[in-house]
């Protein structure tokens, strides 16, 4: 079992955005300073409308990618800057360049041929889903027996 602090995008689009660190390694003072800095930064960003349509099969999950992706990347960048403001640029966890905004709709928990999954998914033609992303939440997440559980600690709202 492990527990970490991380930022998730919320309002129907619950997707990992930016990790902070293990709960036992991040002081309450630093966590609260990061939350405060993030809240101030995100309050200046207009709430974007995202569209999800095409299913993508990744090795670990079946996902939907938002369109456009840039607003989500901007939100993550602002969270990274908030962390850098508290810990310094060289102490921000996770690599900035590898982030792929996505919504996981199913996780892979056994071996299956991706071609079979793709065949089943391509038989469906869902309508595009749209949502206005209004906030990001700082959550305490833990994995217990192959299952994730989390509690929301704070929410940072976007403008508008």
Q: What is the CATH number of the domain that holds 144?
A: 3.90.1140.10
Distance CA 92, CA 38 (A): 13
Domain region containing 124: 2-157
pTM of the full structure: 0.86
pLDDT at 12: 52
Q: Are strands 49-57 and 129-132 parallel, antiparallel or unpaired?
A: antiparallel
pLDDT at 92: 92
Question: What sign does the CA torsion over 12, 18, 20, 21 have?
Answer: positive
Q: What is the mean pLDDT of each run of 10 residues along the chain (160 residues)?
A: 74 69 94 97 96 84 90 94 96 85 81 73 81 91 81 91
Largest interatomic CA distance in the chain: 51
Nearest of 15, 1, 17 to residue 82 by alpha carbon: 17
| Number of domains, the chain | 1
pLDDT at 29: 97
pLDDT at 71: 95
Element (H, E) at 76: helix 70-87
pLDDT at 10: 65
pLDDT at 11: 55
Q: Are strands 147-157 and 15-22 parallel, antiparallel or unpaired?
A: unpaired
């Amino acid at each position: 079992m492990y527990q970490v602090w991380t930022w998730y995008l919320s309002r129907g689009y619950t997707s990992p955005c930016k990790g902070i660190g293990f709960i036992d390694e991040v002081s309450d003072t630093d966590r609260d300073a990061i939350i405060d800095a993030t809240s101030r930064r995100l309050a200046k960003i207009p709430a974007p409308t995202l569209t999800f349509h095409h299913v993508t099969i990744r090795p670990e999950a079946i996902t939907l990618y938002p369109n456009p992706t840039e607003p989500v990347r901007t939100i993550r960048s602002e969270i990274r800057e908030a962390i850098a403001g508290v810990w310094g640029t060289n102490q921000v966890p996770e690599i900035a360049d590898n982030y792929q905004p996505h919504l996981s709709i199913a996780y892979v928990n056994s071996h299956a041929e991706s071609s079979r999954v793709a065949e089943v998914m391509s038989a469906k033609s869902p309508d595009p889903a749209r949502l206005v992303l209004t906030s990001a939440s700082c959550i305490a997440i833990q994995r217990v027996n192959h299952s994730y559980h989390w509690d929301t600690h704070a929410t940072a709202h976007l403008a508008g």
